[in-house]
Amino acid sequence: MKLKTVQWNINGGKIRSVEADPTLDSSYVIDDQGYYAARLKAYVPDIVALQETHTDETEEVSGQISYFADQLGLPYFINVPFSPSHIEAGKKLGNAILSRWPLSATSFEVFFNPRPQRVLDSGEIAVAHDKGVVRAVLDVDGQALEVMSVHLMPFHRFNFDLFAPEQLSFIEDMAGKIKPKEMRALIQGDFNLDCPSLGALIPQFVETVSEVALVEPTFCRGGRFDHILYRGLYHVSTEIDRRALSDHYPLYSEFEL
Look up the CATH number of the domain holding residue 180.
3.60.10.10
Res 213 pLDDT > 90 = yes
**Residue 198 one-letter amino acid:** L
Tens-place pLDDT, residues 22-80: 999 999 999 999 999 999 999 999 999 999 999 998 887 789 999 999 999 999 999 99
Q: How many domains is the chain partitioned into structurally?
A: 1
Contact in structure between 116 and 158 (CB atoms under 8 Å): yes
Domain around 217: 2-256
| pTM of the predicted structure, to 2 decimals | 0.96
Question: What distance in Å separates the CA atoms of residue 210 and residue 199, rounded to the nearest whole number?
Answer: 9
Between CA 13 and CA 21, with CA 15 as vertex, the angle to 5 degrees is 155
Question: CA dihedral defined by 81, 60, 9, 211, rounded to 10 degrees?
Answer: 70
Beta pairing, strands 143-151 & 185-190: parallel
3-state DSSP helix/strand/coil percent for the chain, to nearest 5? 20, 40, 40
Question: What distance in Å separates the CA atoms of residue 66 and residue 50, rounded to the nearest whole number?
Answer: 13
Tens-place pLDDT, residues 158-187: 888 888 888 888 999 999 999 999 999 999
